[in-house]
């Protein structure tokens, strides 16, 4: 039976998790079309980004405690087109290409043909990249924006260290820090050294062969995308910072004691979460369209192969982002 959204049917295809578990719990499923509330738009999804928070939630961590019922649709990043605007004369009209983040699991996610999203959490998609590239941007770039612009307030001449610099958040953080005029130090595997230098890193340290704290120091800011889940990366970072420097710990649960450890070492520390808003997304899109921010997609998967996308993500060697193609 058809609904009144310009001929859109009242059912949609999605990939959902039926329970907590490994990637195999992500299965193709049909769902009723979501109904937008006041202040929300209905969006036809073209592509969806795959983020670590998706895998953590699927495995029972992350936002899993907020899931009220199963099956549940994951996916916070998306690029798509407006089907139904928030109201008749809203600036985002049917057919407009938009991108942004949806609050999962408060709302159904982007591993689906359609989603509803507050219009304050979206912006016009960048024009110079593909839909898959646009879908790779919001969560990672907004996190990097928070680290460098909003919270870090990086200034010219400061020294910034970015851990896991070749990943989704990392490759945006390197570029934004360099754009702010910082001296950028990055940790990554050997295969990503040259690529990160192309993105603007002044120093790239192969974490597999070199103790980064022995090669760099006097850091004003550390963007910690690892924590202490591997080789005490977090606490070792404190040894390379100047007194009073700022450490931003990003991955949830990666270093529960980071605030106390930083304070004991004479440093400041905070966590951070990506906040989706039209102004920040618009600024990021403008940088992309001006050629000042590069988006890298490591691999694209069809929507129904979301489980394979999660398996690749959890191997931990992704360069940039992984994306699901939702619509051709």
pLDDT in tens, 76-117: 999 999 999 999 999 999 999 999 999 999 999 999 999 999
d(CA 174, CA 154): 12
pLDDT band for 252, please (50, 70, 90 cuts).
confident
pLDDT band for 328, please (50, 70, 90 cuts).
confident
Query: Which phi and psi (to 5°) does residue 217 adopt?
Result: -175, -175
Nearest one of 33, 132, 122, 125 to 73, comparing CA atoms: 33
Span 143-152, average pLDDT: 97
pLDDT band for 1, please (50, 70, 90 cuts).
very low
Domain ranges within the chain, ordered by starting residue: 11-137+295-325, 139-271
Does residue 105 have a cis peptide bond before it, meaning omega lies within 30 degrees of 0? yes
Q: What is the dihedral of CA 76, 82, 88, 92, to 10 degrees?
A: 80
User: CB–CB of 199/294 below 8 Å?
Assistant: yes
DSSP per residue, 24-71: GGEEEEEEEPP---TTEEEEEEEEEEE-HHHHHHHTT-TTGGG--SSS
d(CA 239, CA 242): 8
Span 246-263, average pLDDT: 95
pLDDT band for 6, please (50, 70, 90 cuts).
low
- Residue 13: beta bridge partners? 30
The model's pLDDT over 61-86, given as tens digits with 9 standing for 90+, comes to: 999 999 999 999 999 999 999 999 99
CATH topology of domain 11-137+295-325: Quinone Oxidoreductase; Chain A, domain 1 (3.90.180)
Residue 278: which region, alpha, beta or left (left: phi > 0; alpha: psi -120 to 50)? alpha
Q: Tally Cβ neighbours within 10 Å of residue 113.
A: 22
The model's pLDDT over 118-143, given as tens digits with 9 standing for 90+, comes to: 999 999 999 999 999 999 999 999 99
Span 213-231, average pLDDT: 95
Q: What is the pLDDT of residue 230?
A: 84
CATH topology of domain 139-271: Rossmann fold (3.40.50)
Q: What is the pLDDT of residue 96?
A: 98
Mean pLDDT value across the chain: 95
Cα angle, residue 51 at apex, residues 129 and 111 outer, rounded to 5°: 80
Q: What is the pLDDT of residue 5?
A: 58
- Please tell me what DSSP assigns to residue 2: B
Span 162-176, average pLDDT: 98
d(CA 77, CA 102): 7
């Amino acid at each position: 039976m058809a609904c009144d959204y310009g001929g859109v049917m009242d059912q949609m295809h999605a990939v959902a998790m039926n329970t907590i578990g490994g990637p195999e719990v992500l299965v193709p499923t049909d769902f009723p079309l979501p109904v937008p509330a006041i202040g929300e738009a209905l969006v036809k999804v073209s592509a969806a980004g795959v983020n670590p928070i998706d895998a953590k939630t699927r495995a029972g961590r992350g936002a899993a405690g907020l899931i009220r019922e199963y099956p549940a649709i994951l996916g916070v990043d998306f690029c798509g087109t407006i089907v139904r605007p928030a109201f008749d004369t809203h600036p985002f009209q049917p057919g407009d290409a938009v991108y942004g983040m949806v609050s999962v699991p408060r709302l159904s996610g982007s591993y689906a043909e359609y989603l509803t999203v507050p219009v304050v959490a979206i912006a016009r998609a960048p024009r110079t990249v593909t839909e898959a590239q646009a879908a790779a941007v919001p969560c990672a770039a907004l996190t990097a924006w928070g680290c460098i612009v909003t919270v870090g307030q990086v200034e010219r001449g400061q020294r910034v260290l970015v851990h896991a610099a070749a990943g989704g958040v990392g490759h945006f953080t390197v570029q934004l820090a360099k754009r702010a005029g910082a001296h950028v130090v990055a940790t990554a595997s050997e295969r990503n050294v040259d690529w990160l230098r192309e993105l603007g890193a002044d120093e790239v340290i192969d974490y597999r062969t070199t103790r980064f704290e022995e090669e760099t120091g006097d850091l004003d800011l550390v963007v910690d995308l690892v924590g202490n889940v591997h080789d005490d990366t977090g606490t070792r970072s404190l040894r390379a910072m100047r007194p009073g420097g700022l450490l931003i710990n990003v991955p949830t649960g990666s270093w529960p004691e980071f605030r106390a450890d930083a304070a004991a070492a004479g440093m400041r520390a905070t966590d951070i979460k990506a906040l989706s808003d039209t102004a920040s997304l618009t600024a990021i899109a403008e940088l992309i369209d001006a050629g000042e921010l590069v988006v890298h997609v490591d691999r694209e998967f069809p929507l129904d192969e979301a489980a394979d996308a999660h398996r690749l993500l959890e191997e931990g060697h992704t360069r940039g982002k992984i994306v699901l193609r939702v619509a051709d």
